[in-house]
Every structure is written in C-alpha cells, then in structure tokens.
Amino acid sequence: MSELLQFLFSGLTVGAVYALVALGFTIIYNASDVVNFAQGEFVMLGGMITWFAHAAGLPLPLAALIAIVATAALGVAINKLAIEPARGAPVVSLIIITIGASVFLQGAAQLVFDKQIHSFPAFSGDTPLRIGGATIQPQSLWVIGGALVVFAGLWLFFTRTLLGRAVLATSNNRLAAQLVGINTNFVMTLSFALSAGIGALAGVLATPITLTAYNVGIGFALKGFAGAMLGGMGNPKGALAGGFLIGLIEALTAGYLSSTYKEAAAFVVILLVLFFMPQGLFGRKSTERV
Amino acid sequence: MPRLTAKSATLLVLAALIAVTPFFFPSGYYYRVGALIFVNGLAVTGIVILTGYAGQISLGHAGFAGIGGYACALAPTHLGLHPSLAVVLGAAISGVLAYLVGRPILRLKGYYLAVATLGFGILVSMVLNNERQLTGGPDGIAVPELGLRGLLKDWGLDLTNGQFWYFFCGIALLIGAWIALNLHQSPSGRALRALHGSEIAAGTVGIDVARVKLQAFVISAVYASVAGSLVALQNKFITPDVAGFMHSIEMVTMAVLGGAGSVLGAIFGAGILTLLPQALTVFAEYEQLVLGLVMMLVMIFLREGLLPSVLRKLRGRGE
C-alpha cells in the first residue's frame, strides 16, 4: 500500500510538470491554432537559465524570475519572428517552423550553456515528509502547488478579466474580435508570453527533482502534448487532468512494469487516445469550417 | 525535337550527375561522401512522397531507418538470412509498423501524425539503446558483408569498396526517384497532391483521404528503412544514432531545404546538408543551431524550397 502511495506521489510530481506544459500548449493552440512544438524548450530554458544565473552568484528567487521573464520574451520573439510571418501557411509548414524553433533553442542552449546535467537547491530543503508510510519531497509540493495555482490563475484571468475574455474572443473568431476593437496582435503576444512563462516556471519548479540539460525539452513537449490530447485538445481543464494522468501512468509503469520503458507510456497513451477517443476526455467532437 | 517530360529530365540529370562526378574526385574518399549523399537522398525521396505530395509530416522517420539498419545486423546472425533479404525483411517490418501506427492517426489533423511519429522514433531508439543483449546497446553492432562486390569481381568487374557503394547507392537512388516520379503522375499520386491542397475538397470529389495518406506514409517508411539498411551494409556497423531524433530532423530539413515538392530539389537538399559537415569541421558543434534555423527560414521565406524557387526565378527571367 505504501509502495503504491509512493508511486502516486512521484506520478503527481512529474504529472504537475506535464500539466503545466499541457496548459502552455493549450493557451497557444486556443489563441492561434498553432501546436507549438517548442513548448518543451521553455521548460528546459526555465531550468537552465535559473541554474546559470544562480551559479553566477544571484540569489535563487531572482535567478528564477530572470529565467521566467527571459523565456517569456523568447516566446514572444518566436511568435513575432517565426510564426506571425508564416500566418496562413499550411499546418505542415507551421509544424516545421515550431520544431525548427525547438531544435534551434536546443542548439543555442548547448552553445550558450553546456551539455552537462544541472540542478540547483530545492526551495524548502531536502527533508522528506512522511505521509501514510510513503515519503514526499517538499519540492514536489512546490511543483504540484505551482500547477494548481497557475491553473486557478488562468481560470480567473480567462473568466473574470476583460483582457482574458479578449483572448477567448480572439480564439473563437479572430476577425470578429478585431471588428469589436480587440487588438489581436497584442492578444497573440500575450498568449505566447504567458505560455512560455508558464513553461519556464515548470522548469524552475521541477529542476531540483528532475534535473535539467539542453536536451530535456523534447521529452517534456511529447508528454505535455500527450496530456493535452488525453484531456481534449484546447481544453484547459482537460490539459490539467491529462497532464496529471500521464504522470501517474508513467510512474505506475515505472513502478510495476519497467523503469526503462516508462518513457514509452506517454507514446502508448497517445496511440490509444487517437484510436479510441480522438476528442479526449473533456473535448467536444470538432467540426471544421471550410 | 520531342520535349522531355519532367520525369525523364529529372532522371537524366540524376544519372548524369552520378556517372560524371567521379571524374572530378581528387581521392577515393569522395566516393564515400557521394554514397552518403545518395543514401540520404533516397530517404529524403520518401519524405517527398509523404510531405511534398501528401502534405503530412513525420518527426520519427529515423525510427524506420533504424529498423532497416538493425534488420541487416540481426537477421543474418539470428535468422540466417542473406543480408540482401534482410533489407527486404527490414522494409517489410517498417511498412507494417507504419501501417499500424498510421492507420488510427491519419484520419486526424496533421499535427497528430507529427506527435505520434515523434513518439515512435523516440521509442525505437530507446529499444535499440536498451536491449543490449540483442542490439549491443549504444556502442552499436557489426553488420555482415553484403557480398555483391566479390560477386562482381568474379564476373570481371573489379571495383574498390568506395566505388562499389557509390554506384550501388547511386542506382538505388535512381530507382527510388523513378518510383517516386511515377507515383507523381499516377492516379494515386494525383490523389495525394489533391489532398495536399485541401483534404476536405479531396474528400468531396471521392478520394479516400485516410487511405491515400496511409499509403504515402507506408511507402515513405519503406524508403527510410532501405536507406537505413544501405548505410548499415556500407559501414558494416550500426549504432542507435541512426534512429535518433536528430536524424529524423535532418531528413525533414534536407527535404524542405531543397524543396519537398520536387524529387530533384529534395535530393539537392540532401546533398547540401551532407556536404556541409564534410566541408566545415566546426559544423558539428553548430549542427542543431543551423538545422533549426534552416527549417524556420525556409518555411518563412522559401516555402517551396531552394531548387524550385531558383528554377522559377530563372524561368521567369527567360519569358
């Protein structure tokens, strides 16, 4: 029993990271219909920049703040320089652009930083908490709490603020949003900044547990996407639940089947979801306007 | 004078390049580079069918190359197959896997295939890295000799190892290009290109969209598999890198750089990106940076790719 609880704790921890990545996917997907394959690189940058700034002598909170702001700025730059110019291009071209951005950021990270594996100290020490015969790292609570706070913040933002509603309006119908006076360019900028910032935050919170390196991004992207798809593409609630579920499935696979092939769990989930319920757990059946 | 069709023109240009370039080789080493270009060109021709014709994208085609390569390493020792039959076996496994993975996915929007193939590629390279007893793990594994060169020598055609693989891969590329060009003209090819324009429009005129996409995916997987087999047989050695994520990205970049819609363009792209690391030794450090940049720049500024864009410019000036 305590063994199962232990697996659940580790599943919830990585699941929280995947949920944050899935939320990032969802924001950009809703605002622009673009599936941003560089989403995982934001997590990598959050971790790597924080490590770099902290190693250079800055206090950890300041280093983390710099990482989040810098990554958000990069997200905006990717939108302005690479995605906006290709507006209206076929899906394949947009996929190639965002996967290109992903590969580019990986290449840049290994030049600017290095190819080593890095970490920085946990926020509230390393003394594990004992709960019901299992242990949990205090940092895990930071990650899980972070995912829940971000979700609640996004929910408030999208339902209670004018700006948030403007983003929703833009995702519903860009032209109509423009006609009622919404600055859709600003909405896009905001969406990319928010999405990249959330990715970076995930990296900051998770690095003391999962460690970071220049090439960790693509794995986060794959699992975050699996989470978003499992929950139903474009649905924030689905993204949160899907991310946690992928984490749990992965932890249980590692615990009871094979730790080598835990990475395969996300892929198997993707295939099963596509096969049996392409609209996901919370998604509605989509129809396409021609 | 009878006007050349685009198909025979492409094949003639390719055949001429393959036959004539060796006269300018300063050393035997260049045969090796040439063979590498042809093998990459073959894999990229498969990408042309999938991405250029059908408008779909795979981010895990290196997984199929890995299957083709390891089939040549494993089937001869474990099943007693001749290496040439191992190529066929690898291609068959790749085709069946592509069918199984592609069937549920290709009914859905384009990016689902990208994500699923990305996962597939990572899975294949994970298996190759982890199943040490079978695959030798990250250190790689030896591949038996194809034996065709010895046979040719008995018949009086004595080629160096470099020359043999140069012409063998060159001929494989010509056959691959010929099949792809034939497909372009055939009803299946027209159906593919129709759904590149608009899947919904293609569906309304009676094209079975999912089936046609699946065909393209399976065919392109077989191309990648055969290319992987050829690399393994030529090097007599293979490592899991052949199935790595960066290899998948290289294939896509080669295709879009040269022009994913044109067989000759894509092979041209394969040539550039194969030569670049040979010409610039510092390139290895910047490879990812450059590949990523090329993907973005080409898709923003030269969506048709280098060769078709240049040809269009030239033609425009001529008229």
- For the segment(s) B6-318, the CATH number from 1.10.287, 1.20.1260, 3.30.110, 1.10.3470 is 1.10.3470
Phi and psi at residue A136, to the nearest 5°: -140, 140
Question: Nearest CB to A103: which of B112, B291, B299?
Answer: B291
Q: Which of residues 11-70 of B touch A (CB under 8 A)?
A: 51, 55-57, 59
What pLDDT sits at residue A288?
Answer: 52
What value of ipTM does the predicted structure carry? 0.87
B243-272 residues touching A, CB cutoff 8 A = 245-246, 249, 252-253, 256
pTM given for the model: 0.88
| Number of Cα atoms under 13 Å in the Cβ half of residue A153 | 12
Alpha-carbon span B238 to B10, nearest angstrom = 32
Residue reference for tokens 């003639």:
B12
Task: Walk along chain B (319 residues) and give the pLDDT tens digit of each residue.
Answer: 456 677 888 888 889 898 888 888 888 888 999 999 999 999 999 999 999 888 888 999 999 999 999 999 999 988 988 988 999 999 999 999 999 988 888 877 778 888 888 888 988 998 999 888 888 888 889 888 887 877 888 887 878 888 899 999 999 999 999 999 988 888 877 887 777 777 777 778 777 888 888 999 999 999 999 999 999 999 999 999 999 988 999 899 999 998 888 899 999 999 998 988 887 777 778 888 988 998 899 888 888 888 888 888 887 764 4
Residue A51, CA distances (Å) to A42, A116, B94, B250 in order: 14, 12, 42, 30
Minimal CA separation from A152 to chain B, in Å:
28
Read off the pLDDT of residues A57-78 as tens digits, 9 standing for 90 and up: 999 999 999 999 999 999 999 9
Task: Show residues of chain B in contact with A26, CB under 8 Å.
Answer: none
Contact B114 A275 (CB under 8 A): no
Query: Which pLDDT does position A128 carry in this prediction?
Result: 87
| Domain ranges for chain B | 6-318
Tell me the chain B residues in contact with residue A288 when contact means C-beta distances shorter than 8 Å. 200
Ranges in chain A, pLDDT < 70: 1, 283-290
Name every chain B residue with its beta carbon within 8 A of the beta carbon of A104: 288-289, 291-293, 295-296
Helices (H), B186-241: 187-197, 199-204, 209-235
Return the beta strands (E) in B79-235 as ranges.
141-142
| C-alpha dist (Å) from residue A242 to A15, A249, B208 | 8, 10, 32
A and B: number of Cβ contacts within 8 A: 132
- Residue B151 CB partners (closer than 8 Å, separation 6+): none
